[in-house]
Amino acid sequence: MDLMSLEEKKQTDGQVDGASSVPSGGREQMIIFTVGDQRYCIPILSIKEIREFEDPTYLPHCPTYVEGAINIRGNIVTVVNLANYLGTAPQADNERRVVIIIEDGAHRATCGLLVDSVIGITEIALDEIQPISVDGGAAELSGLVSIGERVIRILRLDTVLSRLLGDEAIAAAAG
Amino acid sequence: MGDVMDDILKIFFEECDELLPELERGLGELSAEESSQETINAIFRAVHSIKGGAASFGLDRLVRFAHVYESALDGLRSGKVEPDPAIIKTFFLAMDVLSDLVAEAKHTGDEVDEGRIDENVRKLEAIIGKGGGAPVSSEVGETPVPDDFTPVTVDLGGFDFDEPAEGGGEPPQMLTVTFRPHSDLYSRGDDARNLLMGLKELLPVEEAGAMDVVCHMQDLPALADLPAEDARLGWTVRLPELSSSGIEDEIQAVFDWVGDVCDFQIVRDGQPEGETEPEPVEDTTIQENAPAAPVPVEVVERVAQADSSPPAPAAAPAKVGRKREQNASIRVDIGRIGMLMDMVGEMVIGQASLESALTRDALYDPELLKRLAVIKTLTRDIQEAVMAIRAQPVRNVFQRMQRVVREASSLANKDVALVLEGEETEVDRTLIENLTDPLTHMLRNAVDHGIESPEARQAAGKPTQGTIWLSARHRSGRILIEIRDDGGGINTQRVLQTAIKRGIVASGASLGENEINELIFAPGFSTAETVSDLSGRGVGMDVVKQAIQNLGGRVNIKSTPGKGTLFTLSLPLTLAVLDGMLIECRGSTMVVPVSSVVELVTVQKKDDVYTIPDGSHVVSVRGRCIPLIYLGDELTLPDDGGLQEETHHMGRAGEEGQMIVLVVENEAGARAALVVDGVRDQAQVVIKSIEKNYRQINGVSAATILGDGSVSLILDVSTLIVSATKRVDTRALEAIAERAA
């Protein structure tokens, strides 16, 4: 997988961001996917499964980024259209769209993320993550990490879920 | 460690939740004079187990009170005290205190007033006469739970306060059981104590004192030399030969599970069958020989002494040898049952898709379909069996009502008896949990408003004690709960006047008796002239009706002046399943609860639909104007994909000028007409929460999964109606109705 090799190359280069406030030494496996022309990643441990996109049931009064609800073995799971959520244009005529089912420990909730494609798995050193200030309005992302020439955005899953669960949950998370 | 303790504590509270109803049931039987020794034992056991468990957790207040309670009950058990109504009432009140103390310990209730405890303690002590007949009183709050390993001499004898052992005429034949566990027995997590308990349970409670236990400690080295892993102790138990000839088998059964890790021997007195006499009994005063070492120490096994029921954590293994287990049950996490239900649901879906594949022309095979039918029957049986696991008798809720009535009647200075019927009727536990509040409210109302004051009752020639009947029974797939009182019935005149005063009914309106009775369910209605501690707290019968309706049920009232009132609640057996009507709208299939559907009618667009000035529409169905809800618009259903559907619909409507409306009704009787594309089917659907993974959706109460595996929304009829009626001015409706007529 080319990503892994890219990352390995970077490691041998020995570039470490010393200014990072994240404790050093930790590494985390991430899954990388594309939405539109951007690449994003989330921790692999938050993923329950990846499945083909099937037509969901429309949920009334839902925000534009909510695609609908699907049945996963008896559970009703909401699917988020990440392109709409992140405000980017999805790839046109994409047949490879998949839904990543994630579970968030803090909310004990499950949701599906509709993405354009899954690229692969990589391991990221936590101290290479450049945090993004939430005040800047980027609550959707928790940080950036560069692998080779590409910048990969790290998606904040708790924001996705608290938005799905409603305003009270956001307030609770913020307060 | 903290977590483990928390878990055990949780189990203790769960057990309290089971023991308290058991106590209440026992006391109920006692007051109904259908009690036996077994009932009294059960009562005693319940209090004792709570005390024992509470002691392990250092819940001192609970232990102290439970102890006094237990002592008083002991008077009853030993026959020193005869249960008369006053004493039983004291026990009931003490039970309330006990249950409040449990709630306090659980942090779900307020702190119990010290004065109230003292008062109840005094009353309990008065029953037995302070100090007398309470042989266990010296052990208050003692918790013999040693932290380190301590050899224990278990003395199960010498506590014949129940009934003197010499009561029997001739000295009974004695059986001697000698046993010595191997260390493997302990490494399995078992305990010699369990064997002793098992043996003790073979004896009837009143004979328990006749068991004599001696511990052999001669093999025990000094503490310094003691290999911690070795088993060095043996026991000799002498118990009377009972009339039941199978006692030896029963003893054998106690050792069934440990036969390979424990030597044991049964010898009958005077029978030379045993090769050797039991080993000479080593005096238990051996500890005097152990210099300086604080062990072995003689400790009296308190639990075994007072009762056969062990404290909470040891309960499970001790039951092994017991043959007379009444209700064998296991505790299962509700989540696991939910999972099982989900999977059975999935199985039904898989089966349906298999069936539809098999009925297609290419694969059509009658033989396979026949086999599939067998599996279908099985699946249905499994589904029912899973539902049955969740079913619980309504007894738990009903018995809680005893207390409600007791408290309400003492506050209202009335004498009211609650008679329970059909407590064994089983319903889904989700329903049980949700029944408590409405029932509490209705019973309080029955005491406060239904039953007259004793003076008024006397004047009316009724017994001063009022009676409320609470009954449950199954009827055609639903549960019917009736609350009947022998009070004065509903004063329709007063109800009507109040309704007029509060502006619920226009003055001069003439209402039928039933309509007037229905008024007590109107929001804001209360006839209570004085706001008592019981009623008039701002929650009225409308809340009850709402709650019942939320459970998919209906409430009916029947009242006979001077004779009493009857409330009938008709509820589904489960909250997990709903009778639904599957409707189509813009290509989506949705579910409307059948309980809220009034009728399905086809209306003429041209003649029946009126536009009112604010732009909304009403439809006239047989002269009654009903606000119209275009479901697709209301729920903002997307038109895309359903375009073809839409044009088809429009075409049809255009051609015939007709549309299909589903008239629905909410709990307050308000109606609305939903415009739908069609009705597909009627089916029982499994209710699934949306809110677990998503926020609340206006107009949607939950979701379900259809036979093809797709998600379908269950409509929340009441919020749909509220949003529609808010838009439609009711005065405009009246005007149109006049015009239409």
Q: Mean pLDDT for chain B?
A: 74
Name the residue facing A71 among B635, B697, B709 (closest C-beta): B709
Cβ <8 Å between B346 and A164 = no
φ/ψ of B300, rounded to 5, equals -80, 125
Confidence of residue B714 (pLDDT cuts 50, 70, 90): very high
Residue B558 has pLDDT above 90, yes or no: no
Confidence of residue B207 (pLDDT cuts 50, 70, 90): low
Cβ <8 Å between B694 and A164 = yes
Residue A93 has pLDDT above 90, yes or no: no
What pLDDT sits at residue A33?
Answer: 94
Contact by Cβ (8 Å): B304, B197? yes
Name the residue facing A57 among B346, B634, B710 (closest C-beta): B710
B177 by DSSP, 3-state: which? strand
Query: What's the fold here for domain B577-740?
Result: OB fold (Dihydrolipoamide Acetyltransferase, E2P) (2.40.50)
Query: What's the fold here for domain B1-138?
Result: Four Helix Bundle (Hemerythrin (Met), subunit A) (1.20.120)
Strand partners, B583: B590, B679
Q: Stretch B590-601: mean pLDDT, rounded?
A: 88
Name the residue facing B711 among A57, A60, A111 (closest C-beta): A57
Q: Mean pLDDT for chain A?
A: 78
The answer to whether B493 faces chain A, any CB pair under 8 Å, is no
Contacts of B700 in chain A (CB under 8 A): 59-60
Name the residue facing B693 among A57, A77, A167 (closest C-beta): A77
What pLDDT sits at residue B740?
Answer: 56
Cβ <8 Å between A71 and B638 = no
Q: Which residues of B628-640 are buried (b: 16+ CB within 10 A; e: fewer)?
A: bbbbbebbebeee
Pairwise pLDDT comparison (A28 vs B303), residue with the higher score: A28
**pTM reported for the whole predicted model:** 0.52
Q: Stretch A19-44: mean pLDDT, rounded?
A: 78
Strand partners, B624: B621
Cβ <8 Å between B342 and A74 = yes
CATH node for B394-572: 3.30.565.10
Cβ <8 Å between A60 and B698 = yes
pLDDT tens-digit readout, A130-144: 887 766 555 788 888
The answer to whether B726 faces chain A, any CB pair under 8 Å, is no
User: Cα separation of B687 and B707, whole Å?
Assistant: 13
Name the residue facing A61 among B693, B697, B712 (closest C-beta): B697
Any residues with CB less than 8 A from the CB of B718 and at least 6 apart, and which? B549, B596, B666, B667
Q: Stretch B654-683: mean pLDDT, rounded?
A: 80
pLDDT tens-digit readout, B62-110: 888 888 888 888 888 777 777 788 888 888 888 888 888 888 888 777 7
Confidence of residue B456 (pLDDT cuts 50, 70, 90): confident
What pLDDT sits at residue A42?
Answer: 93
Confidence of residue A170 (pLDDT cuts 50, 70, 90): very low
What pLDDT sits at residue B737?
Answer: 58
Q: State the helix-helix crossing angle for B60-77 and B114-128, rounded to 10 degrees.
A: 20
Place of tokens 């004498």: B415
Structure tokens at B60: 């001192």
Structure tokens at B154: 């278990």
* B484 Rama class: left (phi>0) / alpha (psi -120 to 50) / beta: beta
φ/ψ of A92, rounded to 5, equals -75, 145
Q: Where are the alpha helices (DSSP H) in B489-550?
A: 492-501, 513-519, 541-550
Radius of gyration (Cα) for chain A, nearest Å? Answer: 17
In a mutational test of the A interface, the residue from B639, B674, B690, B711 whose CB has the highest number of chain A CBs within 10 Å is B711
In a mutational test of the B interface, the residue from A48, A51, A59 whose CB has the highest number of chain B CBs within 10 Å is A59
Give the helix/strand (H/E) hosting B38.
helix B37-56
Residue B122 has pLDDT above 80, yes or no: yes
Q: Stretch A160-175: mean pLDDT, rounded?
A: 61
B591 by DSSP, 3-state: which? strand
Residue B715 has pLDDT above 80, yes or no: yes
Q: Which residue of B has its CA nearest to A70?
A: B711
Cβ <8 Å between A73 and B342 = yes
Contacts of B699 in chain A (CB under 8 A): 60-61
Name the residue facing A76 among B341, B343, B703 (closest C-beta): B703
Strand partners, A155: A141
Contacts of B341 in chain A (CB under 8 A): 74
pLDDT tens-digit readout, B625-644: 888 888 888 888 876 544 44
Q: Stretch B539-564: mean pLDDT, rounded?
A: 80
What pLDDT sits at residue B697?
Answer: 84
Most confident by average pLDDT, A116-120, B46-50, B448-452: A116-120
User: Cα separation of B47 and A175, whole Å?
Assistant: 45
Q: Stretch B585-599: mean pLDDT, rounded?
A: 88
* Structural domains of chain A sorted by starting position, each given as residue range(s) with its CATH number in brackets: 2-15+26-174 (2.40.50.180)
User: Cα separation of B57 and B501, whole Å?
Assistant: 56
What pLDDT sits at residue A16?
Answer: 37
Residue A31 has pLDDT above 90, yes or no: yes
Pairwise pLDDT comparison (B261 vs B172), residue with the higher score: B261
Residue B402 has pLDDT above 60, yes or no: yes
Contact by Cβ (8 Å): A119, A39? yes
